[in-house]
Amino acid sequence: MKTCIVLSVLFLAMYVAYHMTSDETKFGGEGAIRYVYYFILLSHILLSIGVIPFVLITYVRAITGNYERHKKIAKITFPIWLYVAVTGVIVYILISPYYIQHA
């Protein structure tokens, strides 16, 4: 789990650095896929922000040996973190064709 935390922090730092130094890429899909994309994107963004305190609390409870309280919050943290991870990949796949047009 320490490795997951470190990799997540590194990913976040690189993601923020990339988006601070790059031009915006607009999603070019039309019709229903546009609504699907923006729903997934919005839920991904909001949950990725909201899960941070849960991850930190879950991690601290585990490393301090407070396993009962760790298990209780991990039941909430894990599915949210998993959703954020999966939807991040889905958002990337959906927008990736427009990176080519943008370059």
pLDDT at 70 over 70: yes
Q: What is the pLDDT of residues 73-99, one digit of tens each?
A: 999 999 999 999 999 999 999 998 887
Give this prediction's pTM: 0.85
The parent domain of residue 49 ranges over: 2-102
Residues near 34 by Cβ (< 8 Å), separated by ≥ 6? 27
Half-sphere exposure at residue 6, Cβ-oriented, CA atoms within 13 angstroms: 3
pLDDT band, very low/low/confident/very high, at 100 (cuts 50, 70, 90): low
CA angle 65, 56, 21 (to 5 degrees): 150
Contact by Cβ (8 Å): 43, 87: yes
Q: How many structural domains is the chain composed of?
A: 1
The distance of Cα 22 from the centroid of its chain, to the nearest Å, equals 19
Q: How many angstroms separate the Cα of 33 from the Cα of each of 38, 40, 52, 87?
A: 9, 10, 29, 15
**Cα→Cα distances 16→2, 22, 50, 70, Å:** 21, 10, 17, 29
